[in-house]
A = this chain, B = another copy of it.
Amino acid sequence: MYSFNNDYSEGAHPRILQALVESNLQQEIGYGQDSFTNKAVEVLKEKMKSDEVDVHLLVGGTQTNLIAISAFLRPHEAAIAASTGHIFVHETGAIEATGHKVLTVDTENGKLTPDLLQKVLDEHTDEHMVKPRLVYISNSTEIGTIYSKQELELLSAFCQKNNLIFYMDGARLGSALCAKDNDLDLSDFPELLDAFYIGGTKNGALMGEALVIKNDSLKEDFRYHIKQKGAMLAKGRVLGIQFYELFKDNLFFELAEHANKMADRLNIALAEKGYQFLTQSSTNQVFPIFSNEMIAELQKNYQFNIWGKVDNDHFAIRLVTSWATNEEEVEAFIKELK
Contacts and interface: CB of A to CB of B under 8 A. Distances in A.
A66 to B, nearest CB: 5
Given A66-B230, A229-B229, A224 B25 contact: no
Query: How many copies of this chain sit in the oligomeric assembly?
Result: 4
A24 B323 CA distance: 13
Interface string A61-74: 11111110011001
Interface in A203-247: 206-207, 221, 223-235, 237-238
B99 A11 contact: no
A101 interface: yes
Contact of A27 (B9, B89, B101): B9
Given A8-B234, A25-B11, A30-B8, A221 B131 contact: yes
Contacts of A71: 74-75
B127 A92 contact: yes
Contacts of A14: 21, 24
Nearest to A326: B25
A227 to B, nearest CB: 4
A206 B92 CA distance: 27
Contacts of A89: 129
A24 B30 contact: no
A27 B10 contact: yes
Dominant secondary structure of chain A at its interface with chain B? loop
Nearest to A70: B75
A131 B226 CA distance: 13
Contacts of A131: 221, 224
Contacts of A76: 92-93, 221, 224-225, 228
Contacts of A206: 20, 235, 238
Given A26-B10, A93-B130, A221-B76, A201 B235 contact: yes
A99 B97 contact: yes
Nearest to A14: B24
Contacts of A97: 75, 99-100, 228-229
A112 B40 CA distance: 43
Contacts of A100: 93, 96-97
A310 interface: no
Given A9-B30, A10-B24, A221-B74, A130 B231 contact: no
A5 interface: yes
A78 interface: yes
A335 interface: no
A224 B232 CA distance: 21
A231 B17 CA distance: 22
Given A11-B24, A63-B229, A76-B224, 12 more contacts: A2-B27, A5-B30, A6-B30, A9-B28, A71-B74, A91-B230, A92-B224, A93-B99, A127-B232, A128-B227, A206-B238, A230-B230
16 contacts: A8-B30, A9-B29, A10-B27, A11-B20, A11-B237, A14-B21, A31-B128, A62-B230, A66-B230, A75-B228, A97-B228, A101-B102, A127-B221, A127-B226, A207-B233, A229-B230
Interface of A: 2-3, 5-6, 8-12, 14, 17, 20-21, 23-31, 59-67, 70-71, 74-76, 78, 89-94, 96-102, 127-131, 201-202, 206-207, 221, 223-235, 237-238, 324
